[in-house]
Amino acid sequence: MGQGGQIGCLFLLLVSSELVSVDLCSSSSSRSFFRDGDSPRPDYESSPIHSSWRHRSRAQFLPVRVQCLEKKLVANIQRDLFGKGNLINPSDLTLGPGACQYTAFHESNDTIVFEAGLHECGSRLQVTTDLLVYSINLYYNPTPVGNSVILRNSPAVILIECSYPRRSNVSSKAVQPTWTPFGSTLSSQKRLKFTLQLMTDDWSTKRASSSYQLGDVISIQADVNTGSHVALRLFIDSCVAMLKPNQESTHHYAIIDFHGCLVDGRSENVGSTFISPRPKPETLRFIVDAFKFSREAKDQIYIMCHLKVTEAADVPDLSNKACSFNKSSQEWFPIEGTEDICTCCETGSCRKGHLPKRLTRSHWKRNKLYWKDVPGKETEADVVVGPLVISDVTVYPSNIAKQDKRARTNSQGVEKVPQTLLLAAGSVVYFFLSC
């Protein structure tokens, strides 16, 4: 960053309900962060650049002013964002992953205004013991002016955070969010550690081997280390088996889909299910009958699960649930919550507002793809376990020959033949996300 010498400062903006101003290039910003060139570059509508810039002293240069209100934030940005006299194009600024455009532009004072609800434009919510922290990035992606092929500024990402006390009434004027200095914000940020691991059949410990035979039961446990966070409940939004430990794998098979439906258990002669009750809210267990991809030489698979958390006090719903299929009753049932949250598992319409649509029987056949892209968030993570080595049940002729003289029969006259199991080492991959 700063290759052209134009931007020598780092940006972080932490604001409260009071009007806060920050000099982006002052020495007080030295512990903030600036990411150069990593933000998206959508196509913008071009607008003329006005040259009504006038000299400002360093003491008066306040390029970003933000207000945190009850339900929204208001950001006022000076077009001379970097204090260099190069006025930015208002259309080059966007707010959040939703790329929200500015709501007003005042030519008289070269000010660009953004107004957005606290939950709009892709903002992120971090819940701590005492605070609700809404954060969102302001992106600056410069585009050439007119037919020019040069740029005068570098891309920038400015982090804006609004902090509200959890134990106050945020719907009244009594709430006064407080200014949080950068140092204390870093110390208050905790990491959620999401893990996915293979367990022994009795769930007492982590499984030493990742090798299975067809017909074996694979026991999988998902956990989240909440640290000092408020009580959280873990859900498995989706799980996909793949030949490679990444989303570029050409072969996929859905084990869990539709925001917590264990669809593998819907297949005939399969006993895959969630384990109820949970040992604790931040742990979720399920079992899967061992399988392998057909017509594939490889005998190993990876399982990637999208894990997410909610507050433990939240009631499970269509988007946050853990549902299994009961073969006896031919119905879906949750490990917690009311049964109606699982009815959408049969139709695949588990988003609020979606109309149900009956799925055909072929929907539940193995080797069917139910892949969907899930946007990453601060309280979510994709976690991979593997490789799992899945072998056929094998009886070697040499072993049979050695056992001929010692073969014994049971009361039905059926000869007992030993089986050989191949073992291989496996690995577990952990992902860490800030919350």
Name the pairing type of β-strands 283-289 and 217-225: antiparallel
Looking at residue 52, its pLDDT comes to: 33
Domain containing residue 352: CATH number:
2.60.40.4100
Same domain assignment for residues 326 and 420: yes
Q: Residue 129 is part of which domain span? A: 13-188
Number of domains in the chain: 2
DSSP three-state, residue 241: strand
DSSP three-state, residue 121: coil
Q: Encoding tokens for residue 297?
A: 């030489």
Over the stretch 314-373, which tens digit does the pLDDT of each residue have?
999 999 999 999 999 999 999 999 999 999 999 988 875 433 333 333 333 433 333 233
Same domain assignment for residues 239 and 368: yes
Looking at residue 114, its pLDDT comes to: 94
| Residues of the chain under the 50 pLDDT cut | 1-59, 148-149, 169-170, 172-190, 353-377, 395-435
What residue type is 86 in one-letter code? N
| 4 domain residue, yes or no | no
Q: Encoding tokens for residue 66?
A: 């933000």
| 129 domain residue, yes or no | yes
What's the pTM value of the predicted model, to 2 decimals? 0.47
- Report the C-alpha gap between 22 and 29 in whole angstroms: 9
Looking at residue 132, its pLDDT comes to: 85
Residue 413: partners with Cβ closer than 8 Å, 6 or more residues away:
none
| Beta-carbon count within 10 A of 26 CB | 14
User: Of 188, 210, 241, which closes a domain?
Assistant: 188
Cα 379 off chain centre by: 6
| 55 domain residue, yes or no | yes
Same domain assignment for residues 178 and 201: no
- Report the C-alpha gap between 131 and 282 in whole angstroms: 21
Q: Encoding tokens for residue 63?
A: 């390029």
Cα 341 off chain centre by: 22
Domain containing residue 48: CATH number:
2.60.40.3210
Looking at residue 70, its pLDDT comes to: 86
Placement of tokens 């990637």 in the chain: 304
DSSP three-state, residue 124: strand
What residue type is 285 in one-letter code? R
Strand partners, 189: none
Looking at residue 417, its pLDDT comes to: 37
Placement of tokens 């998902």 in the chain: 222
Query: Is the dihedral angle over the CA atoms 55, 56, 61, 65 positive or is it negative?
Result: negative
Q: Encoding tokens for residue 30?
A: 């030295």
What residue type is 264 in one-letter code? D
User: Of 142, 172, 188, which closes a domain?
Assistant: 188
Same domain assignment for residues 175 and 54: yes
Measured CA to CA in angstroms, residue 347 lies from 259, 290, 341, 415 at distances of 13, 25, 12, 47
Same domain assignment for residues 158 and 198: no
What residue type is 254 in one-letter code? A
Same domain assignment for residues 50 and 178: yes
Name the pairing type of β-strands 124-127 and 131-140: antiparallel
Looking at residue 378, its pLDDT comes to: 62
